[in-house]
C-alpha cells in the first residue's frame, strides 16, 4: 500500500547552504509520525518543503501518489495538507472567530463552516470563551490552540505541526498533546516536528531522527524511545 505522504531523496537549499541532504520519509494514513533532532537539523525545513514554502532542488514529494513537488503553496493546501508553522502565524488584528473563518477558505457552505467552528470550540473550549478577542491579545498557549484550530478548519488529510509546545507552560503542553492525539484518533494524519523528543515519541507511531539534514535513524516510536543513542542525545539521559 502506498504511503499517504512520501518524500523521496529530498534536497533543499537556502542559497548555498545544503539544508536537506537527500532525506526520504513516508507517512501512512492514520499515523502520527515525528521528526526528532537538534535545532538546525532540518526538521522545520522538511515541513516547509512539503508545503511549498521552500522549493526542493532535487527529489520529490508525493501526496496519495501524486507528485506535488514544486507546486504553489495554496495549491498544496487545496490538496489537503494543513501546516501549523513554528511561531503560530495567526492574524493578530483579527478576532478568534475571524481567524477560524479564514481557515475555512476552501468552504463556501455556511452550514459546513458553522459545524467546523463548533468542532473547533469543542476541541478548544478556551477559544469559545475568547471568540471575539483579537488573536494578538491571546496568550501563547491560546494562540497555539487557535493556529491548530484554524488549520483544521480546512479539514486537511494530513496536518504538519511545527514545534507546537514551544514557549508553553508544562500544563498547556500536556493539553496540546492530548489534542494532537484526539485529532489523530478522529482521522487526521499528523507529521509532527517537536523539540520535546520524549513527548513526541510518546504520542507518535513512528519517528525519524534528523542530524544536519540527513536521516540517521528511523524506527517505531517505541523502539526509538528505547534506543541508547536517542536516549542520550535527545531525551537527556547520561
Confidence class for position 203, pLDDT limits 50, 70, 90: very high
CATH of 5-233, one of 3.30.70.330, 1.10.260.30, 2.30.29.30, 3.40.50.300: 3.40.50.300
Model pLDDT, residue 167? 83
Strands (E), the chain: 5-14, 17-27, 32-36, 56-63, 66-67, 81-84, 158-162, 189-193, 206-211, 214-220
Give Rg (Cα) of the chain.
17
135 backbone dihedrals φ, ψ, rounded to 5°: -55, -35
Question: Does residue 225 contact residue 208 with C-beta atoms inside 8 Å?
Answer: no
Q: What is the pTM of this model?
A: 0.94
pLDDT tens for residues 38-84? 989 999 999 999 999 999 999 999 999 999 998 999 999 999 999 99
Output the average pLDDT for the chain.
93
Model pLDDT, residue 29? 96
> Is residue 9 scored above 90 in pLDDT?
yes
Average pLDDT over residues 92-96: 94
> Is residue 217 scored above 60 in pLDDT?
yes
Cell numbers placing 166: 514551544
Please count the CA atoms within 13 angstroms of the CA of 28 that sit on its side-chain side.
8
Amino acid at each position: 500500500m502506498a504511503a499517504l505522504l512520501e518524500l523521496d531523496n529530498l534536497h533543499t537549499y537556502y542559497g548555498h547552504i545544503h539544508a536537506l541532504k537527500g532525506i526520504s520519509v513516508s507517512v501512512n494514513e492514520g499515523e502520527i509520525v515525528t521528526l526528532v533532532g537538534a535545532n538546525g537539523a532540518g526538521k522545520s525545513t522538511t515541513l516547509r518543503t512539503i508545503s511549498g514554502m521552500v522549493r526542493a532542488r532535487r527529489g520529490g514529494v508525493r501526496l496519495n501518489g501524486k507528485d506535488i513537488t514544486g507546486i504553489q503553496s495554496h495549491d498544496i493546501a487545496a490538496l489537503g495538507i494543513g501546516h501549523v508553522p513554528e511561531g503560530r502565524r495567526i492574524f493578530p488584528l483579527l478576532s478568534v472567530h475571524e481567524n477560524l473563518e479564514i481557515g475555512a477558505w476552501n468552504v463556501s457552505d455556511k452550514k459546513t463552516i458553522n459545524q467546523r467552528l463548533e468542532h473547533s470550540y469543542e476541541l478548544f473550549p478556551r477559544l469559545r470563551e475568547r471568540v471575539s478577542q483579537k488573536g494578538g491579545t491571546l496568550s501563547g498557549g491560546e494562540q497555539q490552540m487557535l493556529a491548530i484550530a484554524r488549520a483544521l478548519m480546512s479539514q486537511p488529510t494530513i496536518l504538519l505541526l511545527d514545534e507546537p509546545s514551544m514557549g508553553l507552560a508544562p500544563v498547556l503542553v500536556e493539553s496540546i498533546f492530548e489534542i494532537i492525539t484526539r485529532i489523530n484518533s478522529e482521522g487526521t494524519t499528523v507529521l509532527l516536528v517537536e523539540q520535546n523528543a520524549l513527548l513526541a515519541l510518546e504520542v507518535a507511531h513512528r519517528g525519524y531522527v534528523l542530524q544536519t539534514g540527513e536521516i540517521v535513524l528511523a524506527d517505531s516510536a517505541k523502539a526509538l524511545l528505547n534506543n541508547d543513542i536517542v536516549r542520550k542525545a535527545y531525551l537527556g539521559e547520561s
